[in-house]
Structure 1
Amino acid sequence: MTTASALPLHMQRNRFDPPSRLAELREQPGLEGVRTPLGLAAHLVTRYADAREVLGDATRFSSAGMPALPGAAQDQRVGNLLALDPPDHTRLRRLLTGEFTVKRIRRLQPRIEQIVTDHLDAMERTGPPNDLVEHFALPIPSLVICELLGVPYADRAEFHRRAAIQVDLTRPLDERGAVAMESREYMGTLVDRATADPGDDMLGMLVREHGEELTRAELAGVASLLLIAGHETTANMLALGTLALLEHPEQAAIVRDDPESTAPAVEELMRFLSVVHSGVPRRVTQDTEVAGTPLAAGDFVVVSLPSADRDRALVEDPERLDVGRAASPHVAFGHGVHHCLGAPLARMEMATAFPALLRRFPTLAVAGEPEFRSATVVYGLRHLPVTW
């Protein structure tokens, strides 16, 4: 268990910013030692070029081999793309990629726009003050991923609870492991339902088109990952991104008033905030080196995504939020074979939600102290009180 006051260096934040120590490490040769939340000794990668090297080489740096959480069965990694290497990863990802192409995701745009509008209407009816996390940032991506996967939205409160526990590093490991198994069992029931009567959602599509290629456990694993990843990351980007824009009103005005700015603004917010601390630690498979530091087979490497995205090798003046700058090839969505499968969906949700929120409530302002959440796999906000 990791306490909020004893976070590893790569998980520490000062509101929007990584700690200054990471900037110092980027300027020094070699790699720093760090411990993961599970207590594993690892080498910390802080520079952009080194991050792309590690994330882009699944042969030398394996995503498999991490110990399972206590209380969770070993088969919890079955179907979990984050914990697989090629060729297993390649096979599963190939079956899913078609559903996450930009062309396919565009079909969801009218529905996403409606979901955003519905939640803005509800906020307007309720009136200020309002918690943007509870009434906007969290429910929008939750409803989108529920509809995409065919998860009953009536079950959202329970899967929110399970997801929150799984990513909360202050929780005991055995509790997180047990809840991971609960989540897997729940998704198994949805797989059985889709197998008996495949619908038009993604689970139904996978059963109809690839039922002979995927086991029940693989389907449950894929669905579990997509359900958690599909709402945790986007929800925290919507909340934290809104706060960043409100604290930079000239940037908010650009997003609100210039439709052409939306796409690069989303990329800049992703780079500036990088809500995923590091992703899965990579296990070194052969003696090698990174940044001049020798690494032995069996060592672990952790990539600090926020640090890499604040590297001057990526953009000029990286500590400044600038939604007007050209979109950068950041690593907030990862890089290489594990680049976020749902990135097109997340981009569309953010590109729809940010300007719609700012146009509906042009006087939107923070109405209290935001509550940050840092001792979690995904950085973000628990509460963001707003008024207008």
Structure 2
Amino acid sequence: MGLIRTVGKTVAARLASTALARFVLRKAGTRALSLLPESALVPLRRDGLEPVAELDRISAGAPVTKLPIPFGVNVWLVTGYAENKQVLADTASFSNDYTHLGEIIGGQEHSPGGLGFADPPDHTRLRKLLTPEFTMRRLARLGPRIDAIVADCLDRMAASSDPVDLVEAFALPIPSLTICELLGVPYSDRDEFQRLAVARFDLFSGAGASIGAISESLVYLEGVVKAQRADPGDGLLGMIIREHGDDVDDKELAGLADGILTGGFETTASMLALGALILLRDPAASALVRDDDAATGPFVEELLRYLTVVQVAFPRFARRDLEVGGARIGAGDVVVCSLSAADRDNALVGGSPEFDPTRRPTQHLAFGHGAHRCIGAELARMELRAAYPALVRRFPNLRLATPESALRFRKTSIVYGVEEIPVTIG
């Protein structure tokens, strides 16, 4: 509640100071995002796999710029690599508390919970519950299962008639089944997980759709947690219940599970789909991954940097007045970190942001940075390293069944992706 009395009140006061803001909050509600000018949506737009040229132009001008947002809210876009790291690492100056976003988009005060929407000390306590399960030693037990999941997907593709949709047959089931394995939830629910995860990230349908998807997911997962509480299984949920008991309640645990499903499913699915598209368009890269096991790791790291499918980090809310990249940010201002812009910064790539499968691995921000860096980063890497070589070795003649120009990419989404990739496998 401390932040609600400080930062939250500052934001609310600014909103209430204009008639337009009151109209947006009381009448438009969660449809407020649809009223934003096109220039404000630049961080969520792309031209195929590349960020739109306007984002490059903004980045070249200054590392921190003010977005043209109406409604009396100050929103800053951070595009510089160093400045992104500064904001993402500074939990003392910036809050992730979901309540602030709820106030801005129309009085939504219920937080979905989980790591992404929590500040220290709650974030610190919750992350400690998960950290043991995400060490390389603990994740190693999932390696054989991931290989089996990939192989099963490829078997199903081989048994299908052309064309095969790589998104549906390859990109979606691999992370879905892996996360189900990790958490210990029924595989039969994977279609529902996919629907809810995709819905929350597609802002083109409005923020209300995302919030509704979060609520549905939490209702289901609270039921899963209750079942695990009665009979703990071998997955992550059962492990936390056995080791921590009543120290973590059902709502908190459901929020953690929801965060893992969201962060571990949709992001990896998008990476698998878009990475496969690069392999289809670049025979040299495909041959490299197919023929050289040692090339897979650097290839995956460069894909993570180049694609940066999580285009922006969850908005931060300034707790105090401060300066970032020469910009004076006020207490209560909203700060949006463009991870895709940061991963193209000269400071990281030396003036060459194009995809280069032979590039030495960089300290990219595809998984974020600081206290909120994706806890499942190593699990995602395991899935990508297993899936890409298996795909090109099993189907050496894989090719697009439609012109790339006909593919449908997401228009306005925090997590960038493609709707379908029809291919022939013969």
TM-score (norm 1): 0.94
The aligned residue for residue 192 of structure 1 is: 226
The aligned residue for residue 145 of structure 1 is: 179
What pairs up with 1:231-310 in 2 under 5 angstroms? 231-310=265-344
Question: C-alpha offsets along residues 37-81 of structure 1, whole Å, 9 cap, x if unaligned?
Answer: 999541111111111111111111221143338799744333x21
Larger radius of gyration: 2
Q: Hey, what's the Cα distance between the residues in 2 that align with 1:73 and 1:183?
A: 17
C-alpha contact 1:132 1:383 (8 A) present in aligned 2: yes
C-alpha contact 2:201 2:413 (8 A) present in aligned 1: yes
Q: State the AA in 2 paired with 1:13.
A: R
Question: C-alpha offsets along residues 305-362 of structure 1, whole Å, 9 cap, x if unaligned?
Answer: 1110011110134332111111100001000001100000000000000010011111
The aligned residue for residue 354 of structure 1 is: 388
Structure 1 pair 329–371 and aligned structure 2 pair: CA distance change class (3 A):
same
User: Aligned with 1:383: secondary structure?
Assistant: coil
User: Aligned with 1:301: secondary structure?
Assistant: strand
Q: Hey, what's the Cα distance between the residues in 1 that align with 2:91 and 2:84?
A: 12
- Percent of pairs with identical residues: 47
Q: Hey, what's the Cα distance between the residues in 2 that align with 1:196 and 1:95?
A: 19
Q: Hey, what's the Cα distance between the residues in 2 that align with 1:330 and 1:115?
A: 28
Identify which of structures 1 and 2 has the higher relative contact order when contacts are C-alpha pairs closer than 8 Å and 6+ apart: 1
The aligned residue for residue 47 of structure 2 is: 14
Q: Hey, what's the Cα distance between the residues in 2 that align with 1:263 and 1:190?
A: 35
- 1:52 paired to 2:85: yes
Q: Hey, what's the Cα distance between the residues in 2 that align with 1:46 and 1:363?
A: 39
C-alpha contact 1:37 1:169 (8 A) present in aligned 2: no
Q: Hey, what's the Cα distance between the residues in 2 that align with 1:39 and 1:181?
A: 28
The aligned residue for residue 354 of structure 2 is: 320
Query: What do you get for the CA RMSD once the two structures are aligned?
Result: 2.2
User: 185, 200, 204: which one pairs with 1:170?
Assistant: 204
Aligned-pair distance for 1:171? 2.1
> Which range is displaced more, 323-332 or 122-131?
122-131
Structure 1 pair 138–178 and aligned structure 2 pair: CA distance change class (3 A):
same
C-alpha contact 1:8 1:36 (8 A) present in aligned 2: no
C-alpha contact 1:72 1:177 (8 A) present in aligned 2: no
Q: State the AA in 2 paired with 1:386.
A: V
The aligned residue for residue 97 of structure 1 is: 131
> Which range is displaced more, 159-168 or 29-38?
29-38
C-alpha contact 1:76 1:184 (8 A) present in aligned 2: no
* Number of residue equivalences: 387
C-alpha contact 1:71 1:177 (8 A) present in aligned 2: no
Question: C-alpha offsets along residues 100-122 of structure 1, whole Å, 9 cap, x if unaligned?
Answer: 11121121110100000011011
C-alpha contact 1:133 1:382 (8 A) present in aligned 2: yes
Question: C-alpha offsets along residues 122-162 of structure 1, whole Å, 9 cap, x if unaligned?
Answer: 10111421100000100111011011112211112222222
Q: State the AA in 1 paired with 2:183.
A: L
The aligned residue for residue 149 of structure 2 is: 115
- 1:370 paired to 2:407: yes
Q: Hey, what's the Cα distance between the residues in 2 that align with 1:38 and 1:136?
A: 42
Flag the structure with higher helix content: 2
Q: Hey, what's the Cα distance between the residues in 1 that align with 2:221 and 2:234?
A: 17
Q: State the AA in 2 paired with 1:381.
A: V
User: Aligned with 1:66: secondary structure?
Assistant: helix
C-alpha contact 2:232 2:242 (8 A) present in aligned 1: yes
C-alpha contact 1:8 1:37 (8 A) present in aligned 2: no
Aligned-pair distance for 1:289? 0.5
Could you list the runs of 5+ residues in structure 2 that have no partner in the other structure? 1-30
C-alpha contact 2:56 2:341 (8 A) present in aligned 1: yes
TM-score (norm 2): 0.86
> Which range is displaced more, 366-375 or 205-214?
366-375
Q: State the AA in 1 paired with 2:82.
A: A
Q: State the AA in 2 paired with 1:375.
A: T
Q: Hey, what's the Cα distance between the residues in 2 that align with 1:374 and 1:232?
A: 16
The aligned residue for residue 368 of structure 2 is: 334
Question: C-alpha offsets along residues 182-220 of structure 1, whole Å, 9 cap, x if unaligned?
Answer: 211110000000000000011101111112210111001
- 1:382 paired to 2:415: no
- 1:76 paired to 2:111: yes
